[in-house]
Amino acid sequence: MKRFWPLLLIVGGLLIVIAGFLYKLFYGGAWGYLDPTPELMASVAFHSRIALGLFWCGVAVFLVGWVAGIRRFWPLFPIIGGCLLALGGFIFAAAFSGRPELVEFVRIAHNATIVGWLGILVFLFGVVSGVIRLVTRKPSENQGKSQDQSLPSP
């Protein structure tokens, strides 16, 4: 369990980001009203700030887990993390961009698109660092010796 705490932070961060999106959808006024009352506008503003806080806390938890796991799973971790981040961001952007007349949907889609592009940058960073690691690998110490290492007979 001690080894996998970065993975738990990453999964927890993704779940918090999803919770922020869903909170924004259901409580943050993502549904358009033709003539909202001042009380409703105040409620939407309050819940929108909570949803935005959840979203960015989830991103922070994800990044802490990702940075903690980078050292342990070096070239693989940025590649997988970037793929997950890009996939999640673009899926949310596609889901919320269907109703461009609702301003809140456009904001959610915009934030999700930014997260998706950050995921692509993380993925590319992982690929480039993995290639650099393979290219600059130190030569083996036993490179000049033959495969048969048996001891000479006396």
> What's the mean pLDDT when you consider all of the chain?
77
Tally of CB atoms within 10 A around 83? 15
Q: What is the pLDDT of residues 83-135, one digit of tens each?
A: 877 887 888 787 777 766 666 677 777 888 888 888 888 888 888 887 887 77
- The candidate with the shortest Cα–Cα distance to 116, out of 82, 148, 75, 147, is 82
Structure-model confidence comparison of residues 35 and 120, the more confident one: 120
Does the residue 150 lie in any domain?
A: no
What is the distance between the alpha carbons of residues 82 and 15, in angstroms, rounded to a whole number? 16
Does the residue 143 lie in any domain?
A: no
pLDDT at 57: 92
What is the distance between the alpha carbons of residues 84 and 116, in angstroms, rounded to a whole number? 9
Does the residue 65 lie in any domain?
A: yes
Does the residue 147 lie in any domain?
A: no
Does the residue 93 lie in any domain?
A: yes
pTM above 0.75, yes or no: no
Residue 53 has pLDDT above 80, yes or no: yes
Structural domain count of the chain: 1
Does the residue 153 lie in any domain?
A: no
Range of the domain at 129: 5-135
Residue 40 has pLDDT above 70, yes or no: yes
Does the residue 23 lie in any domain?
A: yes
What separation in angstroms does the CA of 96 have from each of 53, 90, 103? 19, 10, 10
Rg (C-alpha) for the chain, rounded Å, is 24
**Length of the chain in terms of residues written:** 154
